[in-house]
């Protein structure tokens, strides 16, 4: 019963390096999201996808790119990491559009540190 | 702007009752959600309110007043495992979730 799986769980980068976070869900959900969580702040939406092949910007998209080539996978890329991107990243999915999308299923999180 | 306010931290005693408040100002309203997040773990869905009133689910209840922009999460018969952060989130008119910073609940024996 995997649900939403994120890899890697931990990563340390140097400023300017690039990396990709992978999110996979096995619940056949249409909607997928990438959030970041920082101390003292609410979850902030980076990018989201409403279906295979689609992506959209969230509240804080700068410095990140995403792709949704397959329905079950949602990738988050950092092209040139900056210390301000040190955070815990959560991937989430939800069933469909409208109010039910508020019930999100989260991955375990990926803790990223940029030195 | 859109804003969700909830207390940063609360302390309660095992076996007691605690109420965590959430006030919101958002562009439209399509429901209010409560999530629980244990330290170092992912948030998990607790409850959902879209109409005024109280929704009860076991030891947890959630209340909503849309006219006041106010909700609370009520936890009864507190257990040590209830020590966690509780996140309030509102779905706005674009069906986007706006999140509060969370309330860290500390349970003391």
Q: Is B60 on the interface with A (CB under 8 A)?
A: no
Digit-coded pLDDT (tens) for B18-74: 999 999 999 999 999 999 999 999 999 999 999 999 999 999 999 999 999 999 999
Taking the C-alpha atoms of B39, A61, A15 and A25 in order, what is their torsion angle to the nearest 10 degrees? 50
- Write the DSSP symbol of residue B74: E
pLDDT score of A99 more than 70: no
CB A61, CB A55: distance < 8 Å: no
* Residues of A (1-60) whose Cβ lies below 8 Å from B: 40-45, 58
Whether pLDDT at A46 is above 70: yes
Q: pLDDT band for position A96 (50/70/90)?
A: confident
The reply to whether residue A99 touches residue B97, judged by beta carbons under 8 angstroms, is no
For B84-101, write each residue's pLDDT tens digit. 999 999 999 888 899 999
Residue A100 pLDDT: 65
Percentage of the residues of chain A whose pLDDT score is greater than 70: 95
Question: Around Cβ B47, how many Cβ atoms within 10 Å?
Answer: 20
């Amino acid at each position: 019963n995997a649900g939403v799986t994120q890899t890697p769980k931990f990563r340390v980068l140097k400023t300017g390096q690039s990396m990709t976070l992978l999110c996979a869900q096995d619940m056949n959900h249409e909607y997928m999201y990438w959030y970041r969580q920082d101390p003292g702040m609410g979850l902030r939406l980076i990018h989201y996808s409403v279906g295979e092949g689609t992506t959209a910007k969230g509240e804080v998209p700068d410095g990140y790119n995403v792709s949704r080539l397959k329905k079950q996978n949602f990738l988050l890329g950092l092209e040139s990491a900056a210390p301000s991107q040190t955070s815990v990243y959560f991937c989430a999915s939800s069933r469909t559009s409208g109010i039910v999308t508020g019930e999100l299923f989260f991955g375990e999180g990926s803790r990223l540190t940029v030195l | 702007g859109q804003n969700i306010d909830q207390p940063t931290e609360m302390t309660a005693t095992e076996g007691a009752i605690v109420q965590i408040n959430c006030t919101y100002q958002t562009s439209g309203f399509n429901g209010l959600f409560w999530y629980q997040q244990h330290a170092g773990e992912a948030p998990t869905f607790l409850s959902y309110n879209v109409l005024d009133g109280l929704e009860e689910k076991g030891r947890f209840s959630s209340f909503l007043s849309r006219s006041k922009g106010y909700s609370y999460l009520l936890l009864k018969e507190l257990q040590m495992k209830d020590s966690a952060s509780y996140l309030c989130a509102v779905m706005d008119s674009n069906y986007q979730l706006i999140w509060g910073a969370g309330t860290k609940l500390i349970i003391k024996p």
